[in-house]
Amino acid sequence: MRVFKFGGASVKDAAGIRNVYDVLQQVGYEDVLVVVSAMGKTTNALEDVIKNYFDKSPELNSSVQEVKKYHNQILLDLFEDETNEVFTAANTHFNDLEYFLAHNKSPNYNFVYDQIVSYGEIISTTILSHFMNFKGIKTEWVDIRNYIKTDSTYRDAEVDWELTQKNIAGNFKRNILNITQGFLGSDENNFTTTLGREGSDYTAAILAYCLGAESVTIWKDVPGVMNADPRYFENASLLNHISYREAIELAFYGASVIHPKTLQPLQKKEIPLYVKSFINPLLKGTAVAKGQDLEPYLPCFIVKRNQLLISLSSIDFSFIMEENISEIFGLFHQFRLKVNLIQNSAISFSVCVEDKFGNFNDCNAILSKKFKVDFTENVTLYTIRHFNEQAAQTVEDNKTVLLKQISKETMQIVTKEN
């Protein structure tokens, strides 16, 4: 079995859905499992619904209607007959969403988040499955929440691999196009969980691992894995082959093409990963596989914006020792601050972190009792793998460099725009 993953950009409108059909016609769809994200910016739109829900905003209903309107327009563009059962199926999901908003009693933001945003994937796969059937490709719509089981860490759940493997093994139909959701799982109480933002790639890897798949292909709007994000760097080049190790390094530092968790399960079973273009599906793209060295050894640029640079120093000029660092990282873990860079001296300790859950102020209130805390918001972290002087200069030009760290293969630079 081959596992394909299509992200939100590939199914953002009716033309995108039709293009997925065209891609499958060109590359084959028998014995294929397709993992699909929410359509376009649906997750963002559902995040607005969540905000309005907790703010008790009068805009709540209109924000829900906007999501419905967006999907309904796609349905009208795809299906000539409004009596097609897909309209009823999609409307049933929206009714379930509205029922949850009306009857939920939980004040837990992360729990509510997962229950609501999951409708993006549920509805996108419903539409895609019905359209494929409409075009003559028989599909099996699969609710992934019945298979991928996790703990109850809502918004960033950990997979229960043993139970997930047991659920998946032998339970997917062969010789048919299976369509399921990325990003989602469920806990022991069958409440929906999510695997972290951009977790659909990870879903594809989980399924491939448990099924012993032939390969995983991530279909993108770029030719493959580039050595830099074309939005930020001119003349970005395609990387034809990458080893698992190099891809894991790039993912660890934040390369957006491959989700950080995706590669480990694939490496364990040596399942190749392909990153290919859904615009030109017959092009080779990038292959990530065993023993595939980076070709060529180009500097690879990774950009993480909206970072927070925190500098901690001891109030009494005493050394910052292992026990202090352990305490600091314990707080970062507690408040879910993702550390992307560390630099320390005898009496100071600097970290560049991502505060995606908005918890820094609470963390800082505790840190400030023991340390002098200085921080700079909205900095940018550049990571350059296989750096050279020219690559570093490209990053540093017209910026204030706040921190620089160099190892054998990697340079990291924290900057503030001038």
Q: Convert the pLDDT of each residue in 9-43 to its tens digit.
A: 999 999 999 999 999 999 999 999 999 999 999 99
Separation CA 164–CA 195 (nearest Å): 14
pLDDT tens column, 272-286: 999 999 999 999 999
Is the pLDDT reported for residue 295 higher than 80? no
- The partner residues of 302 in beta bridges, in order of sequence, read 383
pLDDT for residue 360:
97
Mean pLDDT across the chain: 93
Residue 267 pLDDT more than 90? yes
pLDDT at 197: 66
* CATH 3.40.1160.10 domain locations along the chain: 2-213
Span 140-155, average pLDDT: 97
DSSP state of 185: E
Answer for the pair 40, 121: CB distance below 8 angstroms, yes or no.
no
At 80-102, the pLDDT tens digits run 889 999 999 999 999 999 999 99
User: Which pLDDT tens digit goes with each residue over 170-209?
Assistant: 888 888 999 999 999 999 999 999 998 678 999 999 999 9
Can you tell me the mean pLDDT for 131-145? 97
What is the third-level CATH fold of 300-417? VC0802-like (3.30.2130)
One of 3.40.1160.10, 3.10.20.30, 3.40.1440.60, 3.60.15.10 is the CATH number of 2-213, namely 3.40.1160.10
Domain with CATH 3.30.2130.10 in the chain: 300-417
Look at residue 294 in the predicted model and tell me its pLDDT.
55
Q: Is 5 annotated as a binding residue?
A: yes
- CA–CA dist 245, 278 (Å, integer): 26
Q: What is the mean pLDDT of residues 230-256?
A: 85
Q: Phi and psi (nearest 5°) for 46?
A: -70, -30
Is 43 flagged in the annotation as binding?
yes
Residue 329 marked as a ligand binder: no
Is 7 annotated in a binding site? The answer is yes
Residue 126 assigned to a binding site: no
Q: Is 244 helix (H, G, I), strand (E, B) or coil?
A: helix
> Confidence class of residue 353 from pLDDT cuts 50, 70 and 90?
very high
| DSSP assignment string, 85-130 | HHHHHHHHHHHHHHHHHHH-----HHHHHHHHHHHHHHHHHHHHHH
Distances (CA, A) of 312 to 56, 193, 325, 369: 38, 35, 10, 11
- Is pLDDT at 257 greater than 70 in this prediction? no
3-state class percentages of the chain: helix first, strand second, coil last, to nearest 5: 40, 25, 35
Look at residue 296 in the predicted model and tell me its pLDDT. Answer: 53
pLDDT at 259 over 80: no
